[in-house]
Amino acid sequence: MAELEELDGCELDFSESLTVEDDVEALLVPAGEEEDEEESEGDAAGPAMGDRGIAKRLRKAGLKVREVDGWKTRGRDFAGAAAAFNPKGSVNHHTGTPESVPGNAPTLGVLIKGRSDLNGPLANVYQTRNDTILVIAAGTTNHAGLPDGGEIRGMHGNSQAYGLEIEHAGSSPLPDKRLRIAARVHAALLLGRDLPARQVVQHREWAPSRKFDLASNFGTLTSKETNAQACNKFRAMVDEEFRKLKK
Ligand SMILES: [Zn+2]
């Protein structure tokens, strides 16, 4: 068997990004033509691949959702390059796209296809600048890479974590409204596997030596203690969203 990938791809290189809104629309399932799919446990042909209930759960959570064409069969595991997707939690990211890059979804092209040096997809879901949630992949994606702070809440790599990329420069705090939407996305993702809010981590918790996303979301992070508080505050926010969704 070929060596499996464990790569991460945020703070992206935008040379291959899409910036034209028409191009983005061409990559999406036309609005109103989405087909919801029930959670599948697999059949005689083998276990189900990927999580094909993502879009349905996000919509049910009241989010503005669009599906990227082909998402139900997209993933590094579908390509035979990663372990089968078996999420135990999720990781929160920002793209690091400079604010000078125009468009609502400037990173979508890279998140789907990857770059010449990094295979896509690079996230399961993408929160655009206007907070539309684009569903990119049902399977394993190259978003988090190997944890370098040890084991992260029992997760060991990309095949064990959903990845959300938020379109955000990372140089200023993410507004509370956008953060709340991200928390709701994580809650909807984890609901599919009946996982608790404590299984949501920031990329900087996962890989503290090389990543700082999601940055600045609860003020400056001047100490390890402050960092832990900020990460816990986000998990509490996810938990609040869980309670709303379960009502
Ligand atoms: Zn990241």
CATH number (domain holding residue 229): 3.40.80.10
* Cα 22 to averaged position of ligand 1 atoms, centre (Å): 27
Decide if 158 is inside a domain.
yes
Q: Which residues of the chain have pLDDT under 50?
A: 1
Q: CB–CB of 139/76 below 8 Å?
A: yes
Other CB atoms within 10 A of residue 35 CB: 9
* Cα 158 to averaged position of ligand 1 atoms, centre (Å): 12
Decide if 7 is inside a domain.
no
Decide if 94 is inside a domain.
yes
* Cα 106 to averaged position of ligand 1 atoms, centre (Å): 16
* Cα 151 to averaged position of ligand 1 atoms, centre (Å): 17
Decide if 6 is inside a domain.
no
> Where is 161: in which H helix or E strand?
strand 161-166
Q: Is the peptide bond before 214 cis (omega within 30 degrees of 0)?
A: yes
What confidence score (pLDDT) does residue 47 get?
55
* Cα 215 to averaged position of ligand 1 atoms, centre (Å): 10
> Side chain identity at 11, as an amino acid letter?
E
Domains in the chain, number: 1
What confidence score (pLDDT) does residue 1 get?
43
* Cα 126 to averaged position of ligand 1 atoms, centre (Å): 12
> Could you tell me where the beta strands, DSSP code E, fall in 55-153?
65-67, 89-94, 114-115, 118-119, 125-127, 133-135
